[in-house]
């Protein structure tokens, strides 16, 4: 999987191309390099990166909730298993 750092770095590099093309009126350069391709892909990658960050935050929150429930349930099970003198596991 591509890391977020690599993706951010690529976005920066693509943005430099767009900026360079904006600054220059070299017709040959503009004919050879599709500035609008980069502009579109930069925005699409930014949206995907934003979605990834949001999903990551949701995953972190879910993982935290699972950890809390696991701790609570495991602690209670241990107490009850002691009361049942180990009868609750095979």
Render pLDDT for 3-39 as a digit per residue (tens, 0 to 9): 889 999 999 999 999 999 989 888 788 789 999 999 9
As a whole number of angstroms, the distance between CA 10 and CA 38 comes to 11
Question: Would you say the pTM of this structure is higher than 0.75?
Answer: no
Alpha carbon 86 to its chain's center: 44
How far apart, in Å, are the Cα atoms of 54 and each of 40, 63, 70, 76? 21, 14, 24, 33
As a whole number of angstroms, the distance between CA 43 and CA 49 comes to 10
Rounded to 10°, the helix 35-83/4-23 angle is: 160
Average pLDDT estimate for 71-89: 86
What is the domain partition of the chain in residue ranges? 10-83
């Amino acid at each position: 999987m591509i890391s977020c750092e690599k993706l951010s770095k690529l976005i920066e590099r693509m943005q430099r191309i767009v900026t360079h093309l904006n600054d220059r009126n070299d017709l040959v350069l503009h004919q050879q390099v599709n500035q609008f391709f980069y502009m579109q892909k930069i925005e699409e990658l930014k949206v995907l990166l934003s979605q990834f960050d949001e999903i990551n935050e949701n995953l972190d929150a879910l993982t935290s909730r699972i950890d809390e429930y696991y701790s609570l349930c495991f602690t209670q099970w241990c107490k009850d298993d002691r009361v049942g003198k180990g009868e609750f596991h095979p």
